Amino acid sequence: MDAFRFTAKTTTPISYKTRWQAPSNIALIKYWGKEKNQIPKNPSLSFTLQKCVTKTSIEFQPKPSLGLTFDFFFEGKPNSNFLPKLNQFLEQIRPYVSWIDQYHLTIKSDNSFPHSSGIASSASSMAALALCIMEVEREMDTAITDLQFIRKASFLARLGSGSAARSIEGPITVWGKNPSINEASDDYAIKIDSLHSVFSTYQDTVLIVEKGSKSVSSTQGHALMKGHPFANQRFDQAQQHLHSLLEIMREGNLEDFIRIVESEALTLHAMMMTSQPYYLLMEPQTLSIIQKVWNYRRETSIPLCFTLDAGANIHLLYPKLYASKICDFIKNELSLHCQQGFFIEDEVGMGAKKMYI
């Protein structure tokens, strides 16, 4: 996308240090299946989280020779596990931020959530990196508007990890073209306004059924949609679900909201169960929790629902109004199914923030 290539004339390198905090997000309409460079096969919609965040600082030091060089520290220590992904990200974005070759980068990152909690950090970490890089770009090109800044940050983050495009703004974003949203793009995510106020304080409690990394990476997962027998039906369904969900979220109809959100979660897993090779990513504890959530909803009429990532953990979604009752239910009934009783209480958030060093 040529519109995002850096074109300012003056690129005299400057020493600069910047720090950003970017949130994780949870998709309600799932992105599953992509073309090259994280162009999605269908649009997705997510809640931006508040407390599950990555904080990243980058020190840019001008250097005499050109080329990509960087050091990486995770939670205060040099860490080589993340280097391949980081290197791949920087190589991907390089054509759009060609000025970066004039610097040595010292990157330091921390997550607010425990390292092996099973919460993917790629969305929040790629978004935080993209924002640090955009801040330097704006120092060099002061003509960049706020909207251009945000869109290019989302665009760059997407090149690292598709869902990272949705980790710049909040509380609700859409990434991927859909006929009901004129501005929606496959290149970056946009914020969705004018939804019912119940969604501006929606709660998300993440029940950790399985800590550690996923058995199928999302890269492998997306590839499974190539030649999948139900791929086209799934991509059409996601388009229709997004169209309906936007209307439902404008009205605040929670019964219909639940119907679509849970169906999306189960469809994501159904895609993995019906691909070649096939995978079962839920654990027995995941199913026990789902059954208990459905029973609780039937017995209490409280609009508690779940969504799933491509793994065994469960995100419980509910209006803030019911937080204290649901918190009791989680502590007394659901935490028994969590690994070491572990869960994370989060809620929708307003997006990434610049941190003052």
Pick 44 or 56: Cβ nearer ligand PMV: 44
Interface with ligand PMV (CB under 6 A), residue from 19, 30, 191, 228: 30
Binding of ligand PMV at residue 20 (CB under 6 A)? no
Binding of ligand PMV at residue 310 (CB under 6 A)? yes
Binding of ligand PMV at residue 72 (CB under 6 A)? no
Strands 172-175 and 343-347: unpaired
Pick 162 or 351: Cβ nearer ligand PMV: 162
Please, what is the minimum distance in Å from the beta carbon of residue 27 to ligand PMV?
A: 3
**Cβ pair 58, 106 in contact under 8 A:** yes
Please, what is the minimum distance in Å from the beta carbon of residue 95 to ligand PMV?
A: 20
Interface with ligand PMV (CB under 6 A), residue from 44, 48, 124, 307: 44
Contacting range for ligand PMV; rule: CB under 6 A; set: 29-37, 177-185, 191-199, 202-210:
29-37
- Angle among Cα 314, 24, 348 to the nearest 5 degrees reads 75
Binding of ligand PMV at residue 124 (CB under 6 A)? no
**Cβ pair 9, 155 in contact under 8 A:** no
Give whole-number Cα distances, 52 to 123, 148, 275, in Å: 11, 26, 31
Measuring CA to CA, which residue among 329, 328, 338 is closest to residue 284?
Answer: 338
Half-sphere exposure of 294 (CA within 13 A, CB side): 9
Distance CA(319)–CA(203), nearest Å, equals 6
Binding of ligand PMV at residue 218 (CB under 6 A)? yes
Pick 20 or 31: Cβ nearer ligand PMV: 31
Interface with ligand PMV (CB under 6 A), residue from 22, 27, 207, 231: 27
- 43: amino acid identity, one letter: P
Which two structure tokens, joined as six digits, stand for 260? 């679509």
Contacting range for ligand PMV; rule: CB under 6 A; set: 27-35, 50-58, 189-197, 345-353:
27-35
Please, what is the minimum distance in Å from the beta carbon of residue 30 to ligand PMV?
A: 4
Give whole-number Cα distances, 55 to 4, 205, 218, 343, in Å: 25, 21, 23, 21
Distance CA(46)–CA(277), nearest Å, equals 28
Please, what is the minimum distance in Å from the beta carbon of residue 307 to ligand PMV?
A: 10
Q: Residues in the site for ligand PMV, rule: CB under 6 A?
A: 27, 30-32, 44, 122, 161-163, 218, 268, 309-310
